[in-house]
Amino acid sequence: MNLIETKNLNFKYPDKTSALKEINFSVREGEFVAIMGANGSGKTTLLKALVGLIHPAEGEIFINKEKITKNNLEKIRKEIGFVFQDPNDQLFAPTVAEDIAFGPLNMKLPEDEIKKRVSEAMEIMEISHLASKTIHGLSYGQMKKVSLAGVLAMQPKVLLLDEPTASLDPMGASKLMKLFKKLNQKLKVTMVMATHDVDLIPLYADQLYILRKGEIAASGPLREVFSDTQIIRESKLRLPRIAHMIEILRKENKVFAKELPLTIGQARKEIIKTLVGQPSRLSKDKIMEDRRDACPTKNKGF
């Protein structure tokens, strides 16, 4: 079932910038969807439209088959967690713990439950030591983690994330992506993520939308979309580094199979096949599960 669906969405900013053009975007329940595209391609605008922060003049948005209108906006927003690209747009309470508590407080949860959720969210984001720190005394990456903790504390069914890993340190970014995958697989949280992180996203997302100048340039299963390297490059994206290396090997050295591997696990399989001259003894499942990158650690707290 489509949890989120837009029909012919068009949006112009007051200065007449046409930021969304005929957007037909859909997300099924439980999916992990990535939105990629150059700076200014419309990613943030699309996410903001989905939570009713901006109101497209043309087109329709359905959440759970219910059309968003001014009347049901508040109700619909309760199910969706939105994490802003810039944490300065999200954070406003004096201290970290107070900011994270704001959402659960607003949901009128019992005091004990609020405390529990705040401390769990801080633990997950590894910011417990910052609990009493003022928001203005945080680094930018720490602010991003606080704004994510605030949304996680509300335990939404859908998470809309606007470049959540941008400005996090590499290990922090890897850990966060693993956490999102866990939320997606174990707690069935539907994930929609705008991102430029071409190296990490093939490890996690199922579906991919590419935006270009406010239009959908390509969409579909992630591996399928990435196989059109021309569209990727025309959209000012790039292949994951490992895929680029295999692409060069294919072209220059006439090695490796038809389908371009996007992850280290997939590339490893192809390399072993070529070197040994026989299919890798690693099972397909094992390879698909091979979500390794620079971060070998496990997420705590879940």
Ligand X SMILES: Nc1ncnc2c1ncn2[C@@H]1O[C@H](COP(=O)(O)OP(=O)(O)OP(=O)(O)O)[C@@H](O)[C@H]1O
Burial letters 30-54, b for 16+ CB under 10 A, else e: ebbbbbbbbeebbbbbbbbbbbbeb
Q: How big is the site for ligand X, counted in residues (CB under 6 A)?
A: 13
209 CB-contact burial (10 Å; exposed 0-12 / middle 13-18 / buried 19+): buried
Binding range to ligand X, per CB under 6 A, among 9-17, 118-126, 141-149, 239-247? 9-17
Q: How big is the site for Mg ion, counted in residues (CB under 5 A)?
A: 3
Angle at 221 between CA 297 and CA 42, to 5 degrees: 90
44 binds Mg ion (CB under 5 A): yes
6 binds ligand X (CB under 6 A): no
Q: Which of residues 130-149 bind ligand X (CB under 6 A)?
A: none
Q: On the CB side of 163, how many CA atoms lie within 13 Å of its CA?
A: 16
At 141, which helix (H) or strand (E)? helix 140-152
Binding range to ligand X, per CB under 6 A, among 14-22, 98-106, 225-233, 290-298? 14-22
Rounded Cα gap, residues 212 and 29, in angstroms: 25
3-class DSSP state for residue 122? helix
Binding range to ligand X, per CB under 6 A, among 24-32, 35-43, 61-69, 226-234? 35-43
19 binds ligand X (CB under 6 A): yes
Q: Is the dihedral of CA 125, 130, 135, 136 positive or negative?
A: negative
Among Mg ion, ligand X, none, partner that 42 touches (CB below 5 to 8 angstroms by kind): ligand X
Binding range to ligand X, per CB under 6 A, among 15-23, 55-63, 224-232, 259-267? 15-23
x/- track of binding to ligand X for residues 75-114 (CB under 6 A): ----------x-----------------------------
Q: What is the binding site for Mg ion (CB under 5 A)?
A: 43-44, 85
